[in-house]
Structure formats: structure tokens, C-alpha cells
Amino acid sequence: MHLGPPTDAAALDALFASIEAADGVPALTEYKIMRYRDHGEVGVALTTAADVTIGYVQVAHHPGGGAASPGHWAVEIAVDPSCRSPATYEPLIREGAASVPPDERYVVWAWHDALQIALEQAGYTETRRLLRLECALPVEATAPVTPGVTIRAFEVDQDEAAWLRVNNAAFAGHPENGAVTLADLEERFRRPWFDPADLLMAWEGSDLLGSCWTKHHPLGVGEIYILGVSPRAQGRGLGRELVVRGLDHLYGTGSTTGMLYVDGDNKAAMWLYSDLGFRPMRANRQYERVEV
């Protein structure tokens, strides 16, 4: 097998497509896909002696969410489902670690048991668990209407500053969502899936209190993509109202399954989503080398 920069974009696209078809989820997270497509953050591919691409590792820098969650490097590894073995994963794990600047923090994400086992054998420890929850649509749950609040769709070229202000306050300290920039937001606007009608904004007069950004996937899956409530508006039941409105919107626009991602140790969010009918379907585990 050979490690080196990808030289065949079509082969890499085929690898990603085969992984998504087998697993039902993209081969890499959205953050990695956006960087690969638009920013040239080329990773390293693993090919066989017959020049068949069977694996890929990519490293990207996350700016973090402020002092409580400083920036770090995130490593993701994609391997052909028929080739998931320690012999395939080990060189990709080593290459990912070697691609991080010396003495800087990095994490490795793993969806699959084979990669999780390979990481643990290489001395990595699980430090975070991101759960994918799903529910059938429509949901039977309801939520009281928050007095004085109007919910409407996002308006491009008008609502960006307000959304960024509330989102970054709501996710202060979050390792991925706590420091979103205008460039990050506009990057998502360029995605094929973006529709401003899917981003619900909760206003109290001219004051934005929160939002529920939904997203459509193939096969009738609709995602609660980003839910954020201003710290000043928390405790009023607005989060539940926004989730219910978001799920109703997804069902009304063709989705039959609701989906979202949440940190497994976020007890308040887990309680809310469980009460709305969501159930865990899979876990993405974060690993790090932890000094003892």
C-alpha cells in the first residue's frame, strides 16, 4: 500500500460515494468536505499496489469557541467498507498525527468499531461522544407559543449579523460552533442544500432570541442542523418551541425522519430530545492521546 497526496479526484469522490452508500452518512463531516472542496486542504490517500484508493485521512483546524474551548486540529479518516482492518487504519492514524504541527492539540473522530479499536490499540482514549438521534415524523409533541415572539424565515443580506451574534453567544465555549464567522456562514449559503426558508428565526420585536436551522437530506431525512437560543432568552421554553416548529417544517416539506447530533453529556438537551421522541441511532467518538 502507498500513502501520498491524492492524484485522482474522481477516485476520491468514488471512495466517498461508496462509503456514504454503505453507511448511510457522509464519509467526512461537512466541515471537512467544505475545506476539501473549496480550500484545497488536501489530505493523504492510501492506495493499493493496483493504484486503487481505499482510504483517506484529512486534518483541518477548528478555531474553537473562545477561551473555554481553544482551537484544535481535527483528524478524520475514511476507509472503503470492504477494507476496514487494523492494517488499513494504522498508517492513516500515523499520517494524521504526523500532519499536525508539533505540540498542538488534535483529536481523531471515529464512527466505526474497527477504527475505534485501532485507535485504542494505538494508545488513544475516548474523550467525547457525539450522538446521532432520530425520530419519526410527524411528531406528536407540542410546545406552547412563547408570548410576544414571532417566528419567520431567514432573510439573506439582512439577518446575518443578528444570527451570528446569537449563535456565537448560545454556543460560547463549543469546540465547533462557538466562533462562526460571516465567511463560515456565507460558505454554507453556497451549499446546494441551503434554502433560507429552512432557517427559522425567533424575534421579539427587533431582538433576535434564537433560531432553528433545518436541513434536508436524501431518503426523507430532515435534520435539526443548528438550534441556538440567546442566553438572555433561555428558560422561557423557546428551545422546545423552535425544535417542534423545525420538525413540523421538515415534515411539511417532505421529510419523514427527523435527525440531529448532540453531545452525549449534554443532559438538558438529551432530556428535551428524548421527550420529543428522539432515540440514539449511532455514536461518533472523539479520541485523543491523554497524558497520564
Does 149 lie in the same domain as 87?
Answer: no
Q: Which burial class, exposed, middle or buried, applies to 292 when counting CB atoms under 10 A from its CB (0-12, 13-18, 19+)? A: exposed
Q: What is the pLDDT of residues 17-40, one digit of tens each?
A: 999 888 888 888 776 665 555 554
Q: Are 47 and 81 in contact (CB under 8 A)?
A: no
Q: Are 62 and 100 in contact (CB under 8 A)?
A: no
For residues 195 and 189, give the distance between their C-alpha atoms in angstroms, rounded to a whole number.
8
Q: For position 83, what pLDDT does the model report?
A: 92
Does 106 lie in the same domain as 140?
Answer: no
Task: Give Rg (Cα) of the chain.
Answer: 20
Domain end: 123, 154, 175, which one? 123
Domain span at 141? 135-283
End-to-end CA distance of the chain: 34
Q: Could you give the number of structural domains in the chain?
A: 2
Does 43 lie in the same domain as 168?
Answer: no
Q: What is the pLDDT of residues 41-68, one digit of tens each?
A: 558 878 886 888 999 998 888 776 555 5
Kindly report the pTM of this predicted structure.
0.86
Does 139 lie in the same domain as 49?
Answer: no
Evaluate the CA torsion angle 86, 87, 92, 98 in order and state its sign: positive
Q: Is residue 252 part of a domain?
A: yes
CATH number at residue 53: 3.40.630.30
Nearest 5°: phi and psi at 149? Answer: -105, 135
Does 258 lie in the same domain as 161?
Answer: yes
Residue 217 contacts by C-beta under 8 Å, 6 or more apart in sequence? 193, 223, 259
Q: For position 93, what pLDDT does the model report?
A: 95
Domain end: 123, 155, 187, which one? 123
